[in-house]
Structure 1
Amino acid sequence: MNVSLVHSAAAREVTELALQVPEGCTARMALTLAGWSPMVSGVEDQSLTLGIWGRRITQDQLLRDGDRLEVYRSLRVDPKVARRERFVGQGARGTGLFARRKPGSKAGY
């Protein structure tokens, strides 16, 4: 079976590897066969987040021919917290869909 392994260690830095694996191969076995276990931390303790074509999977998921196995890095900041901090910095008047209304117009239009 042919699968692709994809990992981004940093922004705008993508490592992709085409790999042939035997039938019945799991995601963990594919990382080991590719030699990515030492390069990507978290394989042994199963704290690693994996996905196939953008859908989250476990390390014991069986792979199929043509799958794109993606190794995700953890988020530095919670997206909700980051949005709240941006909102506080911008203020209530300069944000939102209707921030640039015409003078005298109704709110929401």
Structure 2
Amino acid sequence: MSDSINVDVCYARRDAQEIVHLRLPEGSTVQRAVEASGLLQKHPEIDLAKGNKLGIFAKLVKADTVLRDKDRVEIYRPLIADPKEVRRKRAEEGKVMKKGGGPAEEASG
């Protein structure tokens, strides 16, 4: 068994996605991978303490989660609006949600 693992650390901005390939010691955590990636220095908007959540293959994890070989660590941007709150407000306003996103008038016809 190898004493190191290969992992990717991903951060998607609105205009581009950045992926950093790393080789880390076995037993490394998500936090260590993020720090080793250099993305915290390159993107000062990333704030793990306040807004950005972390995941492995689209599943939320804590920073102290131990990584496995070939894991993809993802740094998520904070949501601008809570989707549940947006749907609730839309329902209160009486707007019809239509599959495909067309105008509400077309949904009733």
TM-score normalised according to structure 2 size: 0.71
Q: Return the letter of the residue paired with 1:15.
A: E
Residue 31 in structure 1 maps to residue 55 in structure 2? no
Aligned to 1:18: 21
Q: How does 1:1-109 map to 2 (within 5 A)?
A: 1-10=5-14, 12-38=15-41, 39=43, 41-43=46-48, 45=49, 47-87=51-91, 91=95, 94-95=96-97, 99-100=107-108
Mind listing any 5+ residue stretches in structure 2 that lack a counterpart? Answer: 100-106
Asked which structure has the greater CA Rg, the reply is 1
Over the aligned positions, Cα root-mean-square deviation in angstroms equals 2.6
Q: Measured at CA, do residues 46 and 90 of structure 1 come closer, stay the same or move farther in structure 2, by a change above 3 Å? A: closer
Aligned to 1:104: none
Q: How many residues align?
A: 96
Residues 4-35 of structure 1 deviation map (CA, whole Å, 9 limit, x = unaligned):
1111122x521112111111111111111111
Q: Measured at CA, do residues 87 and 18 of structure 1 come closer, stay the same or move farther in structure 2, by a change above 3 Å? A: same
Q: Which range is displaced more, 20-29 or 77-86?
A: 77-86
Mind listing any 5+ residue stretches in structure 1 that lack a counterpart? Answer: 102-109
Higher helix share: 2
Inter-partner Cα distance in structure 1 for 2:55 and 2:30: 9
Does the 8 A contact of 1:7 with 1:14 survive in 2? yes
Q: Measured at CA, do residues 75 and 47 of structure 1 come closer, stay the same or move farther in structure 2, by a change above 3 Å? A: closer
